[in-house]
Amino acid sequence: MNKYDIPHVLTFEYTKIVGIENIEFGTNIIIDDFVFIYAKKRIKLGNNVHIASFTSITGGEEFIMEDFSGLSSGVRIVTASDDYREWGFGNPTIDEKYRNIKRAPIHIGKFGIIGANSVILPGVAIGEGASVGAGSVVTKNLEPWGIYISNRKVGERDKEGVLKNYKNYLLEISTILDSDIGNNGSKKTI
């Protein structure tokens, strides 16, 4: 099934996207059942992106996921949040002029992975290759290729290994494409 009939994007019966006209889709994307995306502003999903079940992308601000990045089950991408430290009060039942809403874009770099049930708050940039452990709450930018539990760096990903594996992937895909062109004269989309 492909609920939204978006070229090169697989969606399911219980995928819910509001504001689809504000989303730029790459290719080879999977958006699982029970994902909710609210795209009031621009959302860009790169190539080979996976958004797992029970994930939500909300807040109405810009969100970017670069190529080969993923959101595990239950992740919350929150591009806007009420700040109760100052003068704001209430919730969406009252006019925004009485609320102190903080909106800021979120960016997940190429090869970035967000673990299950993590929350990414407004204004955060997840660096290329960074991975976030399950159950994390991320409130600050994360450096490339780090392994994080919330905002605390606990290790380094094997950047050289990942990039070598990526190069092998590209070689394999190139071989498949060249083979397909030779067999029928047209290029296969992956």
| Higher-pLDDT residue of 36, 83 | 36
The model's pLDDT over 99-123, given as tens digits with 9 standing for 90+, comes to: 999 999 999 999 999 999 999 999 9
The model's pLDDT over 1-37, given as tens digits with 9 standing for 90+, comes to: 689 999 999 999 999 999 999 999 999 999 999 999 9
CA atoms lying within 13 Å on the CB side of residue 11? 17
Question: Can you give the pLDDT at residue 183?
Answer: 58
Mean pLDDT, residues 170-190: 68
Q: Is the pLDDT of residue 94 over 80?
A: yes
Question: Can you give the pLDDT at residue 36?
Answer: 98
Cα 12-18-23 angle, rounded to 5 deg: 85
State the DSSP string of 21-49.
GGEEE-SSEEE-TT-EEE-SS-EEE-SS-
Q: To which H or E segment does residue 64 belong? A: strand 63-65
CATH code of domain 9-157 = 2.160.10.10
What is the b/e burial string over 103-133, where b = at least 16 CB atoms within 10 angstroms of the residue's CB? eebbbbbbbbbbbbbbbbbbbbbbbbbbbbb
% of the chain with per-residue pLDDT over 70: 93
Question: Can you give the pLDDT at residue 181?
Answer: 63
Q: Is the pLDDT of residue 186 over 60?
A: no
Q: Is the pLDDT of residue 67 over 80?
A: yes
Number of neighbours of residue 84 by Cβ within 10 angstroms: 11
Q: Is the pLDDT of residue 133 over 70?
A: yes
Confidence at 84, pLDDT banded by 50, 70, 90:
confident
Phi, psi dihedral angles at 174 (to 5 degrees): -60, -40
Tokens at 148, concatenated: 């994080």
State the DSSP string of 109-144.
-TT-EE-TT-EE-TT-EEPTT-EE-TT-EE-S-B-T
